[in-house]
Structure 1
Amino acid sequence: MTEIIHRHIQVADLRMHVAEAGTGPLVVLLHGFPESWYSWRHQLLALAAAGYRAVAPDQRGYGGTDRPNAVEDYTILHTVGDVIGLIAALGEEQAVVAGHDWGSGVAWNSALMRPDRVRGVIALGGPYGPRPAAPPLATMRKEAGENFYVAYLQRPGVADRELSQDPRTTVRRALFGASGEAYPWNPIVPEDGGLLDTWREPEQLPDWLTEADLDVYAADFARTGFTGALNWFRNLDRNWALTSAWQDAVILPPALYITGDRDTAAALPGGKELIAGRSTVVPNQRGAVVLPGCGHWTQQERPTEVNKAIISFLASL
């Protein structure tokens, strides 16, 4: 019987924890915030059973993977480099790269920057749009104000302390608060509150989320804190500056987009076009799956549908 195996792999100067299952063509699964490899628990064995080698790392700053101290060590060049380095460290030339939330941004950019290594890209929730004309933080602040959650997360140490006070409460409220059951999510932090106040406290957990699931996430963040994870948000403008060489570039590998109709991430630039299958920057898109009633945590809320869509896409390559 196939099992999920855990080990550490040296990827350049980063010691990376991975969970893996199966043999066959490589599929790398990239989690988002505030999660870990565990967000892909329903996909690892399903992909293995379908004849694939599925590998879900803890990305830098998370779980059992190293957490560099410097904020600038969490740029898109670092995170894409981690993926390309991981593919090589696993002894493979190419992989299909799937990502959710922040992981979708890494997946898209891995396909953009290294199409020779990425033979297909799957994005859950997070769309891909053209590189904006100006640094994104100023635009966000102008459109949504200083209390927009991304602006709030830029304040050194503030969200770090808030989220670390009770990691179990943090992950419980985050996972419920952006789910289909709690839709819609208001991303504006109250003047006298914090990020946790934007997420509703559940009266009871939804069927797809158990106390045991919360145990896994909470144990990781109790040990690591949240600063490494938050540093991803603190590189938005730096990422914009570093990616000027890819202005007007397109994603060449075949692509699949999966989202929920209650996922606010789908409203980000590029989402509407991907859902309609008319993205000019993803010309080789092979479909879009929109899951009714599903919120942001796509592969956890709807594992059966997500597994079916992913395996169908993989078979088409």
Structure 2
Amino acid sequence: MPEMRHIYCGEVTLRVALEGTGPLVIMVHGFPESWYSWRHQIAPIAAAGYQVAAIDVRGYGGSDKPEPVEAYTMEKIVGDLVGLKAALSPGATAILIGHDWGAPIVWNSAFTHPDLFHAVAGLSVPFTGAPARPFTEIFREKFTAKNLFFYQEYFQEPGKAEAELEPQLRRALTLFLCSIGGEAPDGAWPVKSADALLLDGLKLPEKLPPWLTEADLDFYTAEFTASGLRGPLNRYRNHEADFAWLSPLQGRKLEQPALYIGGTRDPASTLFGQITDPVAMMRHFAPNVEGHMLKGCGHWTQQERPDDVTRLLLDWLARLNANPTLPSSRT
């Protein structure tokens, strides 16, 4: 187990899993996850000569959980990473790695603070530059206006998803995790009307996938039983605020060396069908990106394919250390 510390980051205190010494690598999880989602990567990357800091994002686990929706804007969570870097590596820049919501968090941290974060890796969700529209407009046009359910629309009303999910956390987590993993059958995430509940139509698997154990579910269930879901879901309720913060940066590129790892069975890798080639798309916004698509991998990238992801990260970090200006054409 890594050392667990609580570190004040300027506005909130984050629980951080720390291991190793050397250049700082900050790992950021997504929903519904925790620092534990990086359990397979922490020790190998620390052993390669890095100080690994895998956080609980604000609202999760052992980190502070402010109540207001507006406490979970991208700007504030990026600020948490800025504060954590200042606390752990005041004299040097850091490397960022994120998955799911953690990917936009690290992309935008590097994008807005290139002086603090000299390289960045994102899993599952590609970088799309400064937004031209709030994401709420996009998913309402593509889904809600057509009377189709979209989970992020469902999450918009404070208390609604919490009321469905919190009384049945273990079942909800199992359904959510298993329905968009790489081994889930086609149709496991069903098409349904906009007024459906999140868990409607989802089916428990006969057995858990190989990457998810009962002990893993015990951990996640205990974490969310203690923390509740309001903080995690508040992240989804800030698309307009995020747009207002980032849209003035349209035209700017993310110039640092970047790594993208996606899965061919991950709907987030194609932004829910909006793009066909996430790596090619990213090169318009992050010219120094290299990309890897893991065949058959679903949404939970570093948990489903721990060996592949760890190998790709270690290889990238080694080349980054040898040559900070990685080539942009590697795929």
Task: Output the TM-score relative to the length of structure 2.
Answer: 0.90
> Which amino acid is 1:174 matched to?
F
Question: 1:77 maps to which residue?
Answer: 75
Q: Partners of 1:228 and 1:237 in 2: how far apart?
A: 17
> Which amino acid is 2:225 matched to?
A
Q: Partners of 1:132 and 1:23 in 2: how far apart?
A: 36
Q: Does 1:299 find its partner at 2:299?
A: no
Corresponding pairs, count: 314
> Which amino acid is 2:93 matched to?
Q
Give the alignment partner of residue 281 of structure 1, picking from 280, 285, 293: 285
**Which stretches in structure 2 are left out of the alignment for 5+ residues?**
321-331
Q: Does 1:86 find its partner at 2:90?
A: no
Q: Partners of 2:70 and 2:182 in 1: how far apart?
A: 34
Shift of 1:200: 3.3
Give the alignment partner of residue 243 of structure 2, picking from 240, 243, 246: 240
**Aligned alpha-carbon RMSD (Å):** 1.8
Moved more, 147-156 or 221-230: 147-156
**Which stretches in structure 1 are left out of the alignment for 5+ residues?**
none
Shift of 1:210: 0.4
Q: Partners of 2:154 and 2:38 in 1: how far apart?
A: 28
Q: Partners of 1:24 and 1:9 in 2: how far apart?
A: 18
Shift of 1:149: 1.3
Q: Does 1:140 find its partner at 2:139?
A: yes
- Distance change in 2, residues 1:191/1:81 (3 Å): closer
> Which amino acid is 1:60 matched to?
R
Q: Does 1:122 find its partner at 2:125?
A: no
Contact (CA 8 Å) 2:179, 2:189: kept in 1 or not? no
Question: 2:181 maps to which residue?
Answer: 179
Shift of 1:53: 1.1
Shift of 1:20: 1.2
Shift of 1:182: 1.0
Question: 1:158 maps to which residue?
Answer: 160
Question: 1:20 maps to which residue?
Answer: 18
- Distance change in 2, residues 1:138/1:313 (3 Å): same
Q: Partners of 1:270 and 1:281 in 2: how far apart?
A: 16
Q: Partners of 1:27 and 1:257 in 2: how far apart?
A: 16
Question: 2:170 maps to which residue?
Answer: 168
Superposed CA offset, 1:248-278 (max 9, x none): 2111110000011101111128964543486
Question: 2:55 maps to which residue?
Answer: 57
> Which amino acid is 2:115 matched to?
D
- Distance change in 2, residues 1:315/1:199 (3 Å): farther
Tell me the secondary structure at the aligned position of residue 275 of structure 1: helix
Tell me the secondary structure at the aligned position of residue 200 of structure 2: helix
Q: Partners of 1:70 and 1:81 in 2: how far apart?
A: 17
Tell me the secondary structure at the aligned position of residue 42 of structure 1: coil
Shift of 1:107: 0.6
Q: Partners of 1:140 and 1:77 in 2: how far apart?
A: 22
Question: 1:311 maps to which residue?
Answer: 314
Tell me the secondary structure at the aligned position of residue 288 of structure 1: strand
Tell me the secondary structure at the aligned position of residue 287 of structure 2: coil
Tell me the secondary structure at the aligned position of residue 231 of structure 1: helix
Contact (CA 8 Å) 2:96, 2:120: kept in 1 or not? yes
Contact (CA 8 Å) 1:176, 1:182: kept in 2 or not? yes
Moved more, 153-162 or 142-151: 142-151
Contact (CA 8 Å) 1:33, 1:101: kept in 2 or not? yes
Shift of 1:125: 0.3
Question: 2:328 maps to which residue?
Answer: none
Q: Partners of 2:293 and 2:239 in 1: how far apart?
A: 27
